[in-house]
Amino acid sequence: MTHVAVMGAGNWGTAFAGIMADAGATVRMWSRRQEIADQINEGCNLEYLPDLRLPDMIRATTDPEQACADADIVVLAVPSQTLRTNLETWGSAMPADAPVISLMKGVELGTTKRMSEVIAEVGGVEQERIVIVSGPNLAPEIALHQPAASVVACADMATAEHVAAAVATRYFRPYTDTDVVGAEVCGATKNVIALAVGMAEGMGFGDNTKATIITRGLAETTRLGMALGAHPQTFLGLAGVGDLIATCMSPLSRNHSFGVRLGRGMTVDEATAQLRQTAEGVKSCQSILALGEHHEVELPIVEQVVAVVRDGLPVTEVGPKLMARDLKAEKQGTPLPN
Ligand SMILES: NC(=O)C1=CN([C@@H]2O[C@H](COP(=O)(O)OP(=O)(O)OC[C@H]3O[C@@H](n4cnc5c(N)ncnc54)[C@H](O)[C@@H]3O)[C@@H](O)[C@H]2O)C=CC1
Ligand SMILES: O=C(CO)COP(=O)(O)O
């Protein structure tokens, strides 16, 4: 039987633990707080996913060593900006040969590193063991066992196939890939685009505006990803278009909801206080913009989100700025390969 360590007991960590248990594994979760560990051991993570009944094969502890002991697979599910500190604290507890799954969708502030780069650098994990799981996977829907699919990306296809087999259930369908960079760029950038879509919604704009932001957001994401070496088709897949649609359109998305609040006139501090959960795009917009600048990639929507979130630009000024940009052809650069 496969033993899995899930490090982080929030929304996605908990729902993903449920997937792995339903796929036949025993799961040990690491939670920072004793009360959450106690709740999980009683069969329900009340704070994050009250509707998900957790099977007995999921146990929780506040001791990272105990969570990681003898794990065949380690799953990392903490907020992106905390990954480095977390790994510095307990990364050495991860077994030296287990695949490490990253569920995180963000880019590190300051370093502009993707999560796989932080895992390699701080956790000492080789590329062949780092696996990205990314797709349209809103945790509350997965917790209800509603059907969804996701990309399982690893530089080593055999590891991707091994992990895919370990996460496949009747309601969760993995597709393997080797494009780690593409999956990570998609996952992080769609959160920023969802903030922009949420702002538009909060200001009262309708579906034409939202579809325009989503589509041009996809163009930005593709430009950035390709500059970093990603495969263009990744952006049309589950991690790209799939997750962009789910996150930008769903009221369950924290990033979308955060954007709606900004669009209605709340400040970042007010929206943060009201939402309380992780909206990764609020921080990652800044690191993604820096990444774009470093690679000379234009990211106009990301730039406007940064202007609002970091610099306090009134949301009402975003639309006019984007609409006044120089006119250009829709298709830029080389055509997509077959
Ligand atoms: N919730 C969702 O539907 C999905 C989330 N993700 C990604 O998964 C990652 C984790 O997200 P969630 O589980 O939703 O977040 P969350 O906010 O629900 O939970 C985060 C967990 O990390 C723990 N944690 C550890 N160190 C922490 C620190 N220093 N500060 C704050 N919390 C700390 C928290 O205690 C909590 O258990 C994010 O990168 C997110 O983008 C990806 C797909 C779906
Ligand atoms: O990544 C997600 C869905 O795939 C979850 O999005 P939020 O973090 O915005 O809730």
- One domain for residues 170 and 187: no
Question: pLDDT-based confidence at 338, cuts 50/70/90?
Answer: very low
Q: Is 247 in the pocket of ligand 2 (CB under 6 A)?
A: yes
Cα 279 to ligand 1 centroid, rounded to whole Å: 9
Round the average pLDDT of the chain to a whole number and report it.
Answer: 97
- One domain for residues 168 and 196: no
Q: Mean per-residue pLDDT for 171-181? A: 98
Is the distance from CB of 108 to CB of 81 less than 8 angstroms?
yes
Instruction: Tell me, yes or no, whether 334 lies in a domain.
Output: no
Residues with CB under 6 A from ligand 1: 8-13, 31-32, 48, 77-80, 82, 86, 103-106, 137-139, 277-278, 280
Instruction: Tell me, yes or no, whether 338 lies in a domain.
Output: no
Is the pLDDT reported for residue 336 higher than 80?
no
Q: Which one of the listed residues 113, 190, 210, 283 is annotated catalytic?
A: 190
Q: Does 190 participate in catalysis according to the annotation? A: yes
Q: What is the pLDDT of residue 310?
A: 98
Which ligand 2 atom is at minimum distance from the Cα of 135? 4
Supply the CATH number for residue 256's domain.
1.10.1040.10
Q: Mean per-residue pLDDT for 61-77? A: 98
The last residue of one of the domains, among 154, 178, 202, is 178
Cα 10 to ligand 1 centroid, rounded to whole Å: 5
Question: pLDDT-based confidence at 337, cuts 50/70/90?
Answer: low
- One domain for residues 244 and 155: no
Instruction: Tell me, yes or no, whether 144 lies in a domain.
Output: yes
Q: Is 135 annotated as a binding residue?
A: yes
Which ligand 2 atom is at minimum distance from the Cα of 279? 8
Is the pLDDT reported for residue 334 higher than 70?
no
ipTM (interface pTM):
0.98
Which ligand 2 atom is at minimum distance from the Cα of 187? 1
Q: What is the pLDDT of residues 216-246, one digit of tens each?
A: 999 999 999 999 999 999 999 999 999 999 9
Q: Is 321 annotated as a binding residue?
A: no
The last residue of one of the domains, among 178, 206, 235, is 178
Q: What is the pLDDT of residue 276?
A: 83
Supply the CATH number for residue 70's domain.
3.40.50.720
Q: What is the pLDDT of residues 89-108, one digit of tens each?
A: 999 999 999 999 999 999 99
Question: pLDDT-based confidence at 111, cuts 50/70/90?
Answer: very high
The last residue of one of the domains, among 146, 178, 210, is 178
- One domain for residues 239 and 110: no
Instruction: Tell me, yes or no, whether 217 lies in a domain.
Output: yes
- One domain for residues 316 and 271: yes
Q: Is 243 in the pocket of ligand 2 (CB under 6 A)?
A: yes
The whole domain housing 275 covers 181-323
- Domain count across the chain: 2
- One domain for residues 36 and 82: yes
- One domain for residues 205 and 262: yes
- One domain for residues 132 and 210: no
